[in-house]
Structure 1
Amino acid sequence: MYETMVKSRYYEDTMVEAYSEGKKPVFNIGAGPVPGEMHLSTGQEPAAVGICAHLKKEDTVTAPHRPHHHAIAKGVDLKKMTAEMFGKVTGLGKGKGGHMHLFDPEVKFSCGGIIAAGIPHAVGAALAAKKKGQDWVAVAFVGEGAANAGGFHESLNLAAVWKLPLIVVVEDNSYGISVSKQDSTAVDSNEKRAAAYGIAGAHVSGNDPIEMYKVSEEAVKRARNGQGPTIIEIETYRFLGHFQGDPELYRDKDEVPNLRKIDPIIKLKELILAEGVSTEEELEVLEAIAKKEVDAAYAFARESADPKPEDALEDVFSK
C-alpha cells in the first residue's frame, strides 16, 4: 500500500510538470504535450489503496473524472495510461480518450467525466458476476457531490433489491468543484444514506489508509458472500485545485498548507517505521522502484508516435 501511494503521488507530481509545459505565462488549456483538462488526485491516495488491496484482477472498478490513483491501485498499465494522456497511438484508447476516459479491460478498469455515471456501470458488472455465479466484486468510486445525483440513488436501490456485490466508495474531499459539502448535502456523511436502502454503511475519518483497509476488508467479504452492497465514505483531502489552473478562490489560504502537515503518505511511513514493519532503507528501495516505473511510463509516452489525422476516422460508428 505504501509503495502504491508513493507511486500515485509521484505520478501526479510528475504530471503537474508535464501538463504545465507550454501553458505559461498565460494559461492555455489546449497547449503543451498534455492538452485539455487535468484533474489530479494528490492527497486522496488512501481511498484507492485501502480497498484495491483486497481486489482481484477479475473485480471491476469504475472511477470518476479524478481517476489516476484508482487506476494505479487497480494495476492499470502505466505506460499505456500515460500515453493516453499524451494523446499517443500507444495509449489505452489510441490517444482519443485522454485522462478522464481510461479503459483497461485487462484489469476491468474504466472511468468517465460524467458525475455519478460510473455507478450504473458498476451495478451492471455486479449483476453480471452474480448471474455468472462468480464471487467478483464491483467497486464504484465517486466524489461526495455525486451522492446527490439521481444515478447514485437509483443504482443503490437496484443493487440493494438484487443484493448485488457492489461497493460504492464516496471520496469526501469537501468540495464539489468549488461548492462545499456543507452547502450542498443534507447529511454530514453519506454512509448514513445506506440505511435508506437497507444496506451496510461505513465511515473512514482522517484520510486513514489503514482504517480504509479494515473497513474495505469487511465490505469486500460481504460482497463476495452474497450479503449485498456497501457504501463507504472516506474523509479525504485534495491538495490541488479541482483542475490544473483552478485559482481556488473558494479555499482559505491556510487550508492546503495545514492539510499537507497531515499528509497520509508521511503518516503511513512514520507508522511503518514505528511498528518495525520495515526499515528506512527498505522503504527507500520501494520508493525508488515506484519512481522508476513512473519515469519509464512518462518516457514511453513522450517517445510514442502521434496519431495521424486520418486516424480520427477510425474506431467510430459508420453506416
Structure 2
Amino acid sequence: MDSIDLEVLKTSAAWIAAGHRCELVTVIKTWGSSPRPIGATLAICDDGRVVGSVSGGCIEDDLIDRVRREGITRALPDIVSYGITADEAHRFGLPCGGTIELAIEPLDERSRIAELLQRLEQHQLVERHLDLRTGAVELGKATSANVLTLADDTLVTQHGPRWRLLIIGAGQLSRFVAQIATAMDYHVTVCDPREEYRAGWTLPDVALVHAMPDDLVADMQLDQRSAVVALTHDPKLDDLALMEALKSEAFYVGAIGSRVNNAKRRARLAEHFDLSPAQLDRLHGPIGLYIGSKTPSEIAISILAEMTAVKNSVPASLQVNHAAALEAPTPSACAV
C-alpha cells in the first residue's frame, strides 16, 4: 500500500464516523496501459468529495458525476469496467486503448475500515477479504506477497503499514534524507547518541532517539517494509547497527563512505561479526544511485532513489549505483 491508499482508508473511516455514505473503488484488473496499478484505490463521499485515484482523472470525473446525479445507492459491491470500446477509451482518456476493471464497494461499519487502520498502526500486514455477494468483510494476517486477488466472488486485498526508515546519525545529510523520506510517507526515526549532533536537530516531526544504534535496530524488529541507512562515517556507531540490520528482514541496508572505506567496512564485518557472505551482499555501499550528486540535498535524492529502486524490485542491471560507476568522476567524499 502506498501513502495515497492509506489516506483513502483514513478519509473513508472519517466519513463513516461522520455519518456519510461513501464508496471504496479499487482497481482489480487492467489491460493495456493504465495510469494506476492494480490495487490502487479511491474513495468517494455522498457529497461528491473524493480522495485517491484510479486513473488519470477522467474516470474519477465520471464517478463523481454519477454520485452527484444519483447519490450512493449501491447496497452490495459491484464490478465495473471502463474503456472496453475505442469510444470509451477516448472518452475516459485511457492511453493506448487501455481498460480498467474496478470493484466499487459501499462502506459502512461492517466494512471494518477503522479496525483495519488500527492493525496498520500496530505495524501488521493485513489481508482484507470482501465477499462480493454479501459485502461481508474478514480481516486476517497476510500470508502472501500478492497485492490483490479475486477468486470465487471474494476480493482479497493486502494492506501494509507505513514503510519505516531508520537513519543512523543526525548530521546535515541525515536532515535532507529525513525530509525527503517523510514527504514519501516513510515513518522516519533518526538515531544518534552524540549530544553535539542532537543539539542541532531541527526537524520536530521526525523522531530523534538517544540510544546506541545497534540496540535500537534490535528493538525495532525490522521487517520487509523497513530500511536502514548509516550516515555517521563512524565505525563505532555504524558497524554494530549494520550487523543487526543485515541479519534482519529489512529490504534495504546502506552505508555512506568511499569505495575504499566501504571495502574496509565489509572486511571488518566479515572478520569480526558472524555475517554470512549472503548477508554481506545485502549491504549497499557506496550508498545511492550515481546521479552526479555533489551537495547534501542531491546525495539524499541519490540515496532515496536507490531505496525506491530496491523497494520496487528494479533489477540491479538497470541501476547504476556508485559502486558500479567506476569510470565516472567522484562527486564528493560524502556522495560515495
Same fold (TM over 0.5): no
Q: More relative contact order in 1 or in 2 (CA 8 Å, sep 6+)? A: 1
Bigger Rg, structure 1 or 2: 2
Name the structure where strand makes up a greater proportion of residues: 2
